[in-house]
A and B are shown apart, each in its own frame.
Chain A
Amino acid sequence: MSDATAETPRKSSLYRTSDRVKRRNRSEVRFRVLGLTAIGIGVAALALLVISIIGNGYNAFRQTYISIPVELTADRLDPDGNRDADEMSRVTTFGYAPLLAQSLYTYLQDQDISMEGVSPQALMAMISQEAPAQLRRSVLDNPEMVGQTVDLEMLANGRIDGYFKGRVTMASAELDSNVTPAQLQLAQRMADAGIMATRFNWAFITNPDASGQRPEAAGLGVAILGSFYMMLVVLALALPIGVAASIYLEEFAPQNRFTDAIEVNISNLAAVPSIVFGILGLAIFINFAGLPQSAPVVGGLVLTLMTLPTIIIATRASLRAVPPSIRDAALGLGASKMQSVFHHVLPLAMPGILTGTIIGLAQALGETAPLLLIGMVAFVREFPAAPPEGLFDPTSALPVQVYNWTQRADPAFVERASGATIVLLLFLVFMNAMAVILRRRFERRW
């Protein structure tokens, strides 16, 4: 009978832990370990992600350059000899490339560096295809350079660059039709002689994108500017609209069906998949309203609609945190409802609103999927003009640039994509840190 257990108090000593309690304590420990493991896995995943991105991407911030003197022979670059940029522009990059190759060849001979196993064509291939184009641009900007011998820094080919970063090895070069071990050995000799060196790569931040054959020249300039333009549009639209909507819903809206509908809509929009906003942008802003594809203004509009719920939710929370006594005080002095809100409640809620806005902007900055649909995947090399015209020029965006580079064949673009991700994450860390500081600085408890 259960009487024995339930009725008479068991006269067991507290000092002896019963087997059952021991068993229960063991399962307690197991449970704790499971919980700690779960946290551990989460943190480890974060660490792995960060390490993988940084490990793959930090090399994008270094680039290999070949520094040699180049004689800009006048009869090649300016056949008419009048230093007229228009006339000279008829010489294409194909006119410049042999010049560089020739200079490199001569210089190596002068320096007594053996070019064993490397044909002149192969030597030329060690220079980036972008190098002649860059030289041509600077010559056309400064026609008086022609005829002089200038010290030139040229981008090395992506494979050679990869050798110095450990991405390309002698073994992998054996299998690669784009590079030979002999070229790598020569590169090593050139590096030893100080002709070739790897240094910090500002061009990665400032250059525009480059074609699939020229990973070494690809940069984030256009993408960063495009993202910046979009953030401007989002800030200019989402903040005022979001604050206005929140003020209405929090301070003025009567309890009725219309208000309910808005509330339900906002909470649903916050959870609608981002790609759906892309479809909206494509259908409404591009196909219906006829705005240009790839334009920051369209991206900004789409991201504004996506960010609005975040800003509205944050703004309403900080409006709600302002105690009613402040409203009552203002109303008691004869201010209108509108005056009490705009003069007293809104300023007090401002830090919270700004924090929410920054977090919304950070979300928008990282958003990719909708931008793919409105044509921001296009290959854009021209920098957009200054706003407001520039808002209608085609650009790329940081996260889209990452996606773009993942779609290219050359493995060097993995490095670029990871590097771009680092830049993106740095921006996000900066924005979130601002939000945290703002919150700490102005946090108020009533």
Chain B
Amino acid sequence: MPLLWIVIAVLVLGTIGYVLGRRRAMASAEGDARSLHSLPNYYGLNVLLFAVVPALLVLSVWLLVQPVVIQRQVVNMIPDTAAQSAGELSLVMSDVRRVADGLDRAVELGALSREDARTIRTEFTNVRDRLASIGVALGDEVSSDVLRAAQRYRVLKTTGTIAMDAVVLLLAAIGLGYAYARTHKELRARNVVERAVLSLLILASTIAILTTVGIVLSMIIETRDFFRLYPWQQFFFGTQWIPSFEGGSELGLIPLLWGTIYITFIALVVSVPLGLFSAVYLAEYASSRLRSVAKPMIEILAGIPTIVYGLFALITVGPMLRDYFAQPLGLGTSSASVATAGIVMGIMLIPFVSSLSDDIINAVPQSLRDGSYGLGATKSETVKQVILPAALPGIVGAVLLATSRGIGETMIVVLGAGAAARLSLNPFEAMTTVTVKIVGQLTGDTDFSSPEALVAFALGLTLFAITLGLNVLALFIVRKYREEYE
């Protein structure tokens, strides 16, 4: 890993800088640390930062930019006849990269000399066989254009990398030298270092924003590509989901959305009463002993990974529902069904509803309970007529959050709901959801430029928009409610 080595080299330079900087500071103070402006370590750190930070910054920018630049250069070498559409072009480019990697590998293993790798021509050598003999499998015969592009790609990459190494190391050395030269007992090293640390902290906290931007941008760009290939009206209002990789797919959102909503609805029907009653009982009735046992038990449900719930749906709940309900009632023969996924998802959401509701119920002031008991109300009357109405906004927020969880849930529906897109009311029939189809369209060997794969990004964006809306609304309601009792 040459990349790792260059990073290590920079860090080593930084460490040397630290030692030198410290020593020079001590020397300028004639060995008396008290006459320094800052503690001696800060002078060392100051030099280290100057050596490392600019170098690594340039390195990361270079790593991002280089592939794009090389791609530009190489794309020009591909004749228009070889790649008409953007999709074909990206396929050809991935061939180019693979051939280039293969050549690298061949040189590494000694199957080709450096000179050969740069000059072999398809006219004289069967490149595919040569590469296959060292374990690099290529789908197609290598055309001369691709080979030449690959060779150019290699050359550009090698020179680019060498240039990068040189620039980065030079920058590290310059930084070191500059900071070392400035090191003097009057230098406010601590202030410099602290400012640098503060910028690091700020940088770390912007990652949250970058992630959101990344999510939105990546999905919007791909979704735009999708809508170029497939009309958006048919996506949003289409009632058929029939993907076919030969083209002519019907990719309508409605049946997926219906499955999602139906399953989430069943999940809420299960989880809201159970979660709410559990929360009320634990908060208002349970002895502290029962509470100390039952509350963690219910919270364990929240710590179980969703794949485990999925497996539970697949091997236990699904067959159980089929054998005891669906088949005797003549409603279906499938163990994967809306009811299966909905019930299991409901179990998963119980702790979600109950712990949020518990917090909210506990936030209702004791004085309201006293007031109600003082008037001769029973506990259940107090709960139903005073506590729950007072806690209602918070509980609505909790239910909205649970809904958003349910809509975005993947593994339970992948394993429990089935894969058939269907618009039906029968809960014992297999249906599918937005998340199932995202997984379905993006796993396996897919060509990332076909509408059948790109639709997943449009689905993802839809999902993101729906859940984001629910979350914002829920947070808004909950926050408002909290303010009322503070």
Contacts and interface: CB of A to CB of B under 8 A. Distances in A.
A56 B315 CA distance: 9
Contact of A32 (B201, B281, B301): B281
Interface string A288-304: 11100000000000000
A338 B196 CA distance: 11
Q: Chain A binding site: helix, strand, loop or mixed by DSSP?
A: helix
A242 B202 CA distance: 11
A377 B306 CA distance: 16
Instruction: Categorize the interface residue count of chain B.
Output: 35 or more
Contact of A37 (B1, B207, B277): B277
Given A279-B215, A369-B411, A421 B308 contact: yes
Interface stretch (B81-89, B113-121, B456-464): B456-464
A267 interface: yes
Contacts of A432: 303
B277 A279 contact: no
Interface stretch (B17-25, B102-110, B141-149, B436-444): B436-444
A289 B298 CA distance: 42
Nearest to B309: A49
B279 to A, nearest CB: 9
Given A247-B201, A268-B472, A271-B404, A424 B305 contact: yes
Given A284-B214, A403-B307, A41 B274 contact: yes
Contacts, number: 254
Contacts of B198: 248, 252, 338
Nearest to A377: B443
A388 B468 contact: no
A32 B382 CA distance: 13
Majority SS of interface residues in chain B?
helix
Interface stretch (A20-28, A65-73, A113-121, A228-236): A20-28
A38 B277 contact: yes
B242 interface: no
B205 A275 contact: no
B41 to A, nearest CB: 11
B197 A308 contact: no
Contacts of A108: none
A283 interface: yes
Chain A interface residue number, banded:
35 or more
Contacts of A53: 308, 311-312
A28 B207 CA distance: 52
B460 A279 contact: yes
Contact of A35 (B67, B280, B347, B435): B280
Nearest to B305: A366
Contact of B407 (A41, A273, A289, A312): A273
19 contacts: A35-B280, A37-B277, A38-B276, A46-B298, A46-B301, A53-B308, A244-B204, A245-B207, A248-B202, A252-B198, A273-B410, A274-B408, A274-B410, A279-B457, A280-B215, A369-B411, A372-B439, A406-B311, A418-B315
Interface of B: 1, 4, 64, 67, 190, 194, 197-198, 200-209, 211-212, 214-215, 218-219, 221-222, 273-278, 280-282, 285, 294, 297-298, 300-301, 303-312, 314-316, 347, 350-351, 354, 378-381, 383-384, 401, 404-405, 407-411, 414-415, 435, 438-439, 442-443, 448, 456-457, 460, 463-464, 467-468, 471-472, 475
Given A275-B435, A279-B457, 11 more contacts: A39-B281, A39-B298, A42-B350, A265-B212, A273-B407, A283-B218, A283-B457, A309-B208, A338-B197, A418-B315, A424-B305
